A and B are shown apart, each in its own frame.
Chain A
Amino acid sequence: MRKLLLSFYCLPLIVSLSAQDSFQLAPPLLKYSSIFFSKQTSLTIKFIQPGAKVYYTTNNEEPTEQSNVYVKPVTISKNFTTIKAKAIGNNFTPSSTESVSFIKDGLPIKNVEFTKPNDKYPGSGSNTLFDNKGGNPAANNNTWLGYDCDTVTISLTLKKEKLIQSVLLNFLQNEPGWIFLPEQITAEWYNKKTNSYQLLATENISSEKETAGSSCVYRLLSSAQKIKTDKIRIHILVKKSIPSWHPGKGNHAWMFIDEVKVY
């Protein structure tokens, strides 16, 4: 009985101490000109708070106090390098983790034709999908093509006929701003012999769980074996009905895309 009583006395004391004293650090700011690059690029991390340091990883692992301490810009040269960064300090609860993935240029593209986007989000000209600019999660950035129609078609021609295996598409996911990943993406390759397009790969994407904030999400569509072609066609089905967990449920969602790569 005494034991029981005691634990009741101790508990609230401990809880109130920790609740009052603990503030969480805000996440660090990851600064870069674009997530797309041709040879190499660099990342600067901004975050100054006395008593805290920024730790980062380049191997997709969660940063800890054993990870690299950020002191100077990080150089990136490998495709799909993900940098994860976190602010940690003795007096604080560690920040949430900020993350960015860098994408290297693929095969040279001659031109890309695409469905006309909404007038508000026209991107920045005819090469907007292969100009190596983008990856900024602010929707009003002029690298994004924004769509609120049902289907979007993107047709691209490579500079030369090549053996290809994958197509990468970079989307914006900003669900609070009604910008969702598409329902379905399909890539087709042009078969010269039959003078027709054939399926390369397709993917269905569900949005059952809510994601917070705004971030870039790339999707890689890959075929089982390499294919020789110079033309790719991509069909994107925009989410027609926002899921029921969202305040905008039932409305047509937006789809934002800023870059296409072929590997």
Chain B
Amino acid sequence: MKRRSFIQQSAIAATGFACMPSLLSTKQKEEIIFGHNNKRYRLDTNWGKLDFERYPVKDCHEMVQDSKGRIILLTNETKNNVIIYDKKGKLLTTWGNEYPGAHGLTLFNENGEEVLFICDNNRHQVIKTTLDGRVLMTLDYPKETGEYTKAEEYIPTETAIAPNGDIYVADGYGKDFVMQYNHKGEYIRHWGGRGKEEKHLQNAHGVCIDARDKNNPVIIVTSREQNAFKRYTMDGNFIDTIHLPGAWVCRPVIHGEYLYAAVLQSQSHLWQQSGFITILDKNNKVVSNLAGNEPLYVDGKLDELYQTIKAFQYPHDVCIDDEENLYLAQWNSGHVYPYKLTPVV
């Protein structure tokens, strides 16, 4: 009887399959591994999913990891501007309702205490907070530079903090200057801005301190519409350009010997969800593109980069954790929560 009912069920199941010829005929798909060379990953799109009713997101702008291993996400949803996960994607806590233009998120270890720097596009301010959201300092628009007449002209997108506490702010949606302050928030100098020379910037969307060469730390600034990163000395003298043709790179994220960056979109398919992730080695040569083409250098010149697999829409930032996992936050991508990518060894 048991056996007979089993056969009967199989027969019905077979009929069920036959009803869906398109599914049946699809060959078993192989798992897709993203990236190239020694930087290849498996993708988990479910990692950061939360109950949207309770913990909504708008744009997922940036992510950092703190020393406890927690993954901190910044969104411009004022119900919970900051969402804190563990590495498995479990929600730990949320805070923040006063950052309608929350965009840039940087973590800094200040004499043993970790602090956050939030760039708010709408408030035209940079806000320094504790890890649980207590405000420590607010930087208003940089009148001292003589470049700005009102707050609205200043739309900061990113900060980077030097080991001595100096604060570098990129005005990526404003006038594309980089402002340097000391740890107290006192103006030191500024550079960049728009113009025709190579030292100028066009959409200075990100900034970071590159201390991979310990004796010679430099500042890397994004010039997104030029599809490039630009390197400057710590006091703002232009060094050179890292050309990334075709790639609308967001902020550079240094982890170990590598530079990681979300690419908002491909120049070849603008505003068509054509983003990917790029990874550069210590010589600032692209070694891997996740959901993008394999990097190819011809006579030292990088060939155009572009999306090849529509796994992501508009990547906006990446975070690499202490176990080399990569997290991806996306802008304007249908309220999607962050993805996690684990290295394939």
In the complex, how many angstroms separate the beta carbon of A45 from the nearest chain B beta carbon? 11
Q: Given B17, B27, B311, which contacts A23 in the complex, CB threshold below 8 Å?
A: B311
Tell whether, in the assembled complex, residue B269 and residue A91 are in contact, meaning their CB atoms are under 8 Å apart. no
B182 within 8 A of A: no
A26 B23 Cβ-Cβ under 8 A: no
Q: Are B272 and A212 in contact (CB under 8 A)?
A: yes
Contact bitstring B302-318, A, C-beta under 8 A = 1, else 0: 00101111110000000
Q: Are A18 and B16 in contact (CB under 8 A)?
A: no
Q: Tell me which of A3-11, A146-154, A160-168 binds B.
A: A3-11
Residues of A within 8 A of B216 (CB): none
Asked if residues B310 and A213 are in contact (CB atoms below 8 Å), the reply is no
Task: Point out the residue from B17, B30, B31, B269 that lies within 8 Å of A26, measured CB to CB.
Answer: B269
Q: Is B345 an interface residue (CB 8 A)?
A: no
Decide: A26 and B308 in contact? CB cutoff 8 A: yes
Q: Is B32 an interface residue (CB 8 A)?
A: yes
Binds B, one of A46-54, A70-78, A101-109, A126-134: A46-54
Shortest 5 CB-CB contacts between residues of A and residues of B: A49-B308, A21-B29, A26-B307, A24-B310, A29-B268
Chain B residues within 8 Å of A52, by CB: 308
A2 touching B12 in the complex, CB below 8 Å, given contacts A24-B309, A213-B272: yes
25 CB contacts below 8 A, A to B, read A3-B12, A6-B9, A10-B17, A14-B20, A14-B23, A18-B23, A18-B26, A21-B31, A23-B310, A25-B309, A26-B307, A27-B269, A29-B269, A46-B268, A46-B306, A47-B308, A48-B293, A48-B294, A48-B308, A49-B308, A87-B308, A95-B310, A212-B272, A213-B272, A214-B271
Query: How long is the Cα–Cα vector from A22 to B23 in the complex, in angstroms?
Result: 12
Which residues between 56 and 95 of chain A lie within 8 Å of chain B, taking CB atoms? 87, 90-92, 95
Q: With A14-B23, A49-B293, A213-B272 as given contacts, are A25 and B16 in contact (CB-CB < 8 Å)?
A: no
- Chain A residues lying within 8 Å of B29, measured Cβ to Cβ, are 21-22, 90-91
User: With A and B bound together, what is the CA distance between A48 and B32 in angstroms?
Assistant: 15
Residues in chain A near residue B291, CB distance under 8 A:
26
Confirm or deny: A205 has a beta carbon within 8 angstroms of a beta carbon on chain B: no
**Contact residues in B for A214 (Cβ distance below 8 Å):** 270-271
- The closest CB in chain B to the CB of A98 belongs to B269
Which of B26, B29, B30, B291 has its CB near the most chain A CB atoms (within 10 A)? Answer: B29
Give the CA-CA distance A18 to B25 in the complex, in Å. 12
Closest to B304 in A: A46
Chain A residues near B32 (CB, 8 Å)? 23, 91-92
Determine whether A199 belongs to the interface, using a CB cutoff of 8 Å to chain B: no
**Contact across chains for A23 and B16 when beta carbons are under 8 A apart:** no
Among residues of A, the one whose C-beta sits closest to the C-beta of B28 is: A21
Q: A2-B9, A26-B310 are in contact. List 15 more A-B contacts (CB 8 A).
A: A2-B12, A14-B20, A18-B26, A23-B310, A25-B309, A26-B274, A46-B306, A49-B308, A49-B309, A91-B30, A92-B309, A95-B310, A177-B271, A213-B271, A213-B272
Query: SS class of chain A's interface: helix, strand, loop or mixed?
Result: mixed
Place the interface of chain A in its size category: 20 to 34
User: How far does the Cβ of A117 sit from chain B's closest Cβ, in whole Å?
Assistant: 22
- Asked if B13 CB lies within 8 Å of chain A CBs, one says yes
Mark out the residues of chain B between 273 and 320 whose CB falls within 8 Å of any chain A CB in the assembled complex. Answer: 274, 291, 293-294, 304, 306-311
Smallest CB-CB separation from B22: which chain A residue? A18
Give Cα A213–Cα B272 distance, bound, in whole angstroms: 6
Q: Give the dominant DSSP class at B's interface.
A: loop
Instruction: State in angstroms the CA–CA spacing of A214 and B267 once bound together.
Output: 12
Residues of A within 8 A of B293 (CB): 47-49
CB distance from A64 to the nearest CB of B (A): 15
Alpha-carbon gap, A18 to B24, bound state (A): 10
Residues 40 to 89 of chain B near chain A (Cβ within 8 Å): none
In the complex, chain A residues whose CB is within 8 Å of the CB of B269: 26-27, 29, 213
Closest A residue to B30 using CB positions:
A91
Interface residues as binary, B159-172 with A (CB distance below 8 Å gives 1, 0 otherwise): 00000000000000
Asked if A250 lies at the interface with its beta carbon under 8 angstroms from chain B, I say no
Question: In angstroms, how far is the closest chain A Cβ from the Cβ of B146?
Answer: 27
| Distance between Cα atoms of A49 and B304 in the complex (Å) | 14
On chain B, the residues within 8 Å of A138 by CB distance are: 270
Q: Is the CB of B304 within 8 A of A29?
A: yes
Q: How far is the CB of B6 from chain A (nearest CB, A)?
A: 12
Nearest-CB distance from B220 to chain A (Å)?
25
Complex CA–CA separation, A90 to B29 (angstroms): 8
A6-B304 in contact given A23-B311, A29-B268 (Cβ < 8 Å): no
Q: Which residues of B contact A2 (CB under 8 A)?
A: 9, 12
Using CB atoms, name the residue of chain A closest to B309: A23
Instruction: Provide the bound-state CA to CA distance between A48 and B20, in Å.
Output: 32
Q: Please report the C-alpha to C-alpha distance between residue A29 and residue B267 in the assembled complex, in whole angstroms.
A: 10
| Cβ–Cβ < 8 Å partners of A26 in chain B | 266, 269, 274, 291, 306-310
- Known contacts A23-B32, A91-B32; A176 and B271 CB within 8 A of each other: yes
Bound complex: CA of A18 vs CA of B291, how far in Å? Answer: 19
Closest to B294 in A: A48
Distance of A214 Cα from B270 Cα, bound (Å): 8
Q: Are A7 and B271 in contact (CB under 8 A)?
A: no
Nearest-neighbour CB distance to chain A for B340, whole angstroms, equals 15
Q: Nearest CB to that of B23 among chain A residues?
A: A14
* Closest residue on chain A to residue B272 by CB atoms: A213
B-contact 0/1 string along A1-44, CB 8 Å cutoff: 01100110011001000100111111101000000000000000
